[in-house]
Amino acid sequence: MMNNKGTLIAFETNTAKLGNLRRRAERAGATNIKTVNVEGLQEYNGRADCVFIDAPCSGMGVFRRNPDAKWRLAAKDISELAAKQKSIIREYSGLVKPGGRLVYATCTISREENEEVVRGFLEENKDFYVVSPSEINPELFEKFTTEEGFFRSLPHVHDMDGFFGAVMKRRHDNAE
């Protein structure tokens, strides 16, 4: 989509996945992807146009494809994941420059891991606000946009896996 213009910086805590990404990008001819480890991210503080967080989650949105997974999930797992997600969104939001976007996504339908994480983040970070996905692309996102301005797909409603997404924009200043 970027036509090899600009720079896409990929970060993954799992080094094997990062290596796999490098190989897949090379095969696809994507020359504008740079992979970095955790220590290398600090140089990008306040410089990113967009930060996409694919948060680790309970995976409840994909239970219809993986029904046995629900038997391995305990209530405490969701609370622990939500705490980890809150930490991740806090830490990596600092990479977003003024006027840039922060996108938070999960493959779960758990409100504790989704809306509650985002609401808590927004309460602590007044320099971010929600941008409705239907404002970005009405044709594509209208049927998935909630009243609160989040993206949500539900297996029993949309005949697909359950996903959640929130697009937030960092204010340029207090006037925006």
Task: Assign 3-class secondary structure to 103-156.
Answer: EEEECCCCCCCCHHHHHHHHHHCCCEEEECHHHHCHHHHHHHECCCCCEEECHH
Q: Residue 166's domain spans which residues?
A: 45-170
Q: Which residues of the chain have pLDDT under 50?
A: 175-176
According to the model, what pLDDT value does residue 105 have?
97
Active site residue 107: yes
Same domain, 81 and 129: yes
From the candidates 107, 118, 166, 168, which is the catalytic residue? 107
**C-alpha span between 48 and 102 (Å, rounded):** 9
Same domain, 91 and 127: yes
Same domain, 71 and 113: yes
According to the model, what pLDDT value does residue 174 have?
54
Same domain, 92 and 150: yes
Domain with residue 165: its CATH number is: 3.40.50.150
According to the model, what pLDDT value does residue 80 have?
95
